[in-house]
Amino acid sequence: MTKREVTFMTAITEAMAQAMRKDETVILIGTDVAGGAEVDHLVKDDGRYDDAFGGVFGLSKGLVTEFGRGRVIDTPIAEHGYFGAAVGAAATGLRPISELMFNDFIGFALDPILNQGAKMRYMFGGKAKIPLTVRTVHGAGAGAAAQHSQTLYGWFGSIPGVKVVVPSNPYDAKGLMLAAIEDDNLVVFSEDKMLYGMKGDVPEEYYTIEIGKANVVREGTDLTIVAIGKMVQVAQQTAETLQKDDISVEVIDLRTVAPWDQETVLNSVKKTGRLIVIDESNPHNNTATDIASVVADKAFDYLDGPIKTVCAPNTPVPFAHNLEQAYIPDVKKVLTVAEELIIDLQKKAVRV
Amino acid sequence: MEKKEVLWIYQKMNEIRFFEEEVHRTFGKGLIPGFVHLYAGEEAVATGVMALLDDDDYITSTHRGHGHAIAKGCDIRGMMAEIMGKKDGLGGGKGGSMHVADVEKGMLGANGIVGGGFGLAAGAALSIKTLGRDNVAVCFFGDGASNEGTFHEGLNLASILNLPVIFVCENNQFGEGTPFRYASASETVAERASAYNMPGVRVDGMDVEAVYNATKEAIVRAKAGQGPTLIECDTYRMFGHFEGDEQKYKTDQDPNRDRDPIVELREKAIQKGWMTETEANDIETAAKATIKDAVEFAEASPLPDLSSLYTDIFA
């Protein structure tokens, strides 16, 4: 495979373009996924279309030029309507990618996901498939305040019939996006907007990353840190800091939030005996608490200390920069939380 | 309408009526779990539309979906078994009355969510358009759903994308127990079509020929790339909103209360020479037998295997 460095954003754009080239039933539908529909001066001399936005973050830039307005479909700002259409299209022969501009807008788009797309196969006794990818954006850090910064992938993940992937780097973003589009189920692909500029090695070729499988990004023996999306960087930095004190941390990038990879997490905890989960969601009923509950149930005898979760506080996302930074889990918070486990570890070392 | 179509319509109307009367009885005996909403009284709408569709056309239905399913060609035995929560039901007993479906027949499901079908139908029409098929999608919805936000979103989207979809409103005068004349600021649903730049027609929903003619015109438009149509069918439900509803909101003055679309078609068809008295009698007898057979089939069907609780979540 050819190696190149591209951004997280470019990796996703490339994945969508490659999927659309490979399979003509793949369409992109959402608000301003191209932008500028029926604006005369955005039609090029050769009859192809230019876009006004290519998505508000520019992730679908250029797709309308290559694939036309029949496959890159601008919708009115009507999330309930076009998500319903995306589910209906998925049930009848298309393989749509439908964009929810910010995950915070889910209030207007929830029924087609919660009650239609996620349940049709089950209610119909297995006689329907819904190959729909829901692309959406989460995360604090951009100063976008309470209605454009939440981390809600856990909500989607609590719905039976929905898969949820959260990439942490450009390589994973491309491979997971292609896997999501290939998947015959409703897959929510949730992107942290703060990662869009992140650069990394991404092969030009088409490749997929298995949905449902976590990635052990750093092996260790004393402590397991499970992290999601942007928080993987926090976990890695924490691991490097603790390494200076000879504490060996295993870092697991969860990659898929639902269904999450119990085997990899449990095996790691059985080895290290200690677990911290970092999740930027609000602190209750989220992915971190779910992992903590399953590990407490299935690996209790292997634990040498309490399971710790490091999450956002139980508040809306604040606007002011200092408040927003205080909201987001960071290395300092993880180290503070790790202290109890580390003290415990040091005691154990003394005993030995 | 041609003779052949009239005979088919009369058969389906009778199957729906006998089916619903049987479900009413069976529910009363406690053999049906959950919530059931009967279609009896509205047969002219489902059959008048479906007489013009084939398996490759799609429909989205409502919580009151048995009539749509029967008219769209869903297996009646499988439907009855589904409603009783049996293994041989169309959904393996996992969907029930509000989720009767058969995607292969183009029936994208009854729907427990009022207004759930607008987007789905637009999406099915988007598939038809994108894949270049010569078909239509029909969205059945009630007067109650016409006040959901999705009515606006679905009709607007379908219109601007010029999709081959027909929105068929079954105005049975009540959204649950609230009269349409109270719940809607506009006097009719049909007049709202002008806001979406599509034709809106209000027809006598107790007259199958009126429904049939309006649908025929809408299909021609849709297939010619002229976009969606809104058809409002003025009708009435014979039973309550759900089984067990005391129907305190009904009055003797309700429009269509004293009408029966099946009786009306029988008289008209015989008078016009579309159907003989004997043919009508034979169809009624056969429809009764079809439903009796479906009940026997459903009652004999076992409960679903417990293991099926966990299947069909992901493809």
Taking residue A44's Cβ as centre, other Cβ atoms within 10 Å add up to: 10
- Going by pLDDT thresholds of 50, 70 and 90, the confidence category of residue A340 is confident
Contacts by residues A287-296 (CB-CB < 8 Å, ≥ 24 positions apart)? A287/A153, A287/A154, A287/A157, A287/A228, A287/A254, A287/A257, A287/A258, A287/A260, A288/A226, A290/A154, A290/A260, A291/A226, A291/A260, A291/A265, A294/A262, A294/A265, A294/A266, A295/A265, A295/A266, A295/A269
The answer as to whether A157 is a domain residue is yes
Task: Please report the pLDDT score of residue A349 as a whole number.
Answer: 59
| Chain Cα centroid distance, residue A20 | 21
Structure tokens given for B26: 């069976």
Residues A244 and A162 in one domain: no
Are residues A322 and A224 part of one domain?
A: yes
Q: B310 at the A interface (CB within 8 A)?
A: no
Taking all residues of chain A, what is their mean pLDDT, rounded to a whole number?
Answer: 96
Instruction: Dump pLDDT digits (tens) for B63-82.
Output: 999 999 999 999 999 999 99
Question: Is A79 known to be catalytic?
Answer: yes
Same domain, A47 and A132: yes
| Residue A183 shares a structural domain with residue A219 | no
CA–CA separation, A165 vs A167, rounded Å? 6
Q: Is residue A210 part of a domain?
A: no
Of A201, A225, A244, at which residue does a domain stop? A201
Whether the Cβ atoms of residue B174 and residue B8 lie closer than 8 Å to each other: no
Query: Both A144 and A227 in a single domain?
Result: no
Tell me the pLDDT tens digit for each residue of A11-51. Answer: 999 999 999 999 999 999 999 999 999 999 999 999 999 99
The ipTM, to two decimals, is 0.95
In a domain, A291, yes or no: yes
A24 part of the active site: no
Examine residue A284 and state whether it is found in any structural domain, yes or no: yes
Q: One-letter amino acid identity for A141?
A: G
> Residue A347 — very low, low, confident or very high, per pLDDT cuts 50/70/90?
low
Task: Please check whether residues A251 and A295 belong to one and the same domain.
Answer: yes
Question: Per the residue annotation, which of A14, A138, A148, A324 is the catalytic one?
Answer: A148
What lies within 8 Å, CB to CB, of A297 at 6+ separation is: none
Q: What would the two tokens of residue B176 be?
A: 């649950």
Asked whether the beta carbons of B262 and B199 are under 8 A apart, the reply is no
Calculate the alpha carbon distances from B22 to B19, B64, B70 in Å: 5, 15, 14
User: Does residue A305 fall inside a structural domain?
Assistant: yes
Concatenating the DSSP letter of every residue in chain B gives --HHHHHHHHHHHHHHHHHHHHHHHHHHTT-S-S-----TT-HHHHHHHHTT--TTSEEE--SS-HHHHHHTT--HHHHHHHHTT-TTSTTTTSS-GGG--BGGGTB----SSTTTHHHHHHHHHHHHHHTT-S--EEEEEETTGGGSHHHHHHHHHHHHTT--EEEEEEE-SEETTEEHHHH-SSS-SGGGGGGGTS-EEEEETT-HHHHHHHHHHHHHHHHTT---EEEEEE---SS-SSTT---TT--TT-TTTT--HHHHHHHHHHHHTSS-HHHHHHHHHHHHHHHHHHHHHHHHSPPPPGGGGGSSS--
Q: A78 and A188: one domain?
A: yes
- Closest of B109, B110, B141, B136 to residue B125, by C-alpha: B136
- CB count within 10 Å of CB A335 equals 16
- Number of separate domains in chain A: 2
Q: Tens of pLDDT along B260-280? A: 999 999 999 999 999 999 999
Question: How far is A51 from A31, CA to CA, in rounded Å?
Answer: 12
In chain B the first and final C-alpha atoms are separated, in Å, by 42
**CATH (domain of A51):** 3.40.50.970
Q: Report yes or no on whether pTM surpasses 0.80.
A: yes
Domain ranges across chain B? 3-295
What integer pLDDT is reported at residue B151 of this predicted model? Answer: 98
Distance from CA of B121 to the nearest CA of A (A): 6
Using the beta-carbon criterion (under 8 Å), do B315 and A185 form an inter-chain contact?
Answer: yes
Q: H helices of A23-95, where?
A: 63-67, 79-91
CATH number at residue A263: 3.40.50.920
Residues A220 and A196 in one domain: no
Check pLDDT > 70 for residue A96: yes
Q: Quote the pLDDT of residue B103.
A: 97
Same domain, A197 and A264: no
Is A209 among the domain residues? no
CA Rg value for chain A: 21
pLDDT at site A172: 98
Task: Give the SS3 label for residue A88.
Answer: helix
Q: How many CB pairs under 8 A join A and B?
A: 161
Last-in-domain residue among A201, A225, A256:
A201
Interchain proximity A125–B94, CB inside 8 Å: yes
What's the confidence (pLDDT) of residue A341? 86
CA distance A1 to chain B (A): 31
Q: Which residue of chain B has the CA closest to A130? A: B315
A280 and A323 assigned to the same domain: yes
Instruction: Kindly state whether B160 is in contact with chain A, defined as any CB-CB distance less than 8 angstroms.
Output: yes
**What are B271's two structure tokens?**
């008078």
Whether A348 shows a pLDDT value over 80: the answer reads no
CB distance B127–A86 less than 8 Å?
Answer: no
Which chain A residues have a beta carbon less than 8 Å from that of B61?
none
User: What's the pLDDT at A115?
Assistant: 98
Q: How close does chain A come to B269, measured CA to CA in Å?
A: 37
- Given a cut of 70, the residues of chain B with pLDDT beneath it are none
How confident is the model at residue A352, as a pLDDT?
A: 47
* Closest chain B residue by Cα to residue A91: B124
Structural domain includes residue A244: yes
The answer, for A197 touching chain B at a CB cutoff of 8 Å, is no
The rounded Cα A254 to chain-centroid distance in angstroms is: 10
Angle at A159 between CA A153 and CA A164, to 5 degrees: 40
Question: Of A14, A79, A182, A250, which is the active-site residue?
Answer: A79
The CATH architecture one would assign to domain B3-295 is 3-Layer(aba) Sandwich (3.40)
Work out the minimum CA distance from B313 to partner chain A, whole angstroms: 5
Of A201, A228, A251, the last residue of a domain is A201
Chain segment A142-172, per-residue pLDDT in tens? 999 999 999 999 999 999 999 999 999 999 9
Residue A236 and residue A197 share a domain = no
The three-class DSSP label of residue A63 is helix
For residue A300, tell me if it sits in a domain.
yes
Task: Report residue A167: phi and psi, to 5°.
Answer: -75, 150
pLDDT at A342: 77
Give A204's DSSP letter. Answer: S
Contacts A163 to B, Cβ<8 Å: 314
Give helix B261-272 / helix B43-50 axis angle, nearest 10°. 50
Given a cut of 60, is residue A89 above it in pLDDT? Answer: yes
Burial class (CB in 10 A: 0-12, 13-18, 19+), B302: exposed
Per CB-CB distance under 8 Å, the chain A contacts of B118 are 81, 84
pLDDT at A350 over 60: no
Q: Which domain holds residue A338?
A: 215-351
Distance of CA B201 to the CA centre of its chain: 18
Could you please report the per-residue DSSP string of A233-265?
A: HHHHHHHHHHHTTT--EEEEE--EEET--HHHH
By the CB < 8 Å criterion, does B185 face chain A? no
Residues A242, A127, single domain; the answer is no
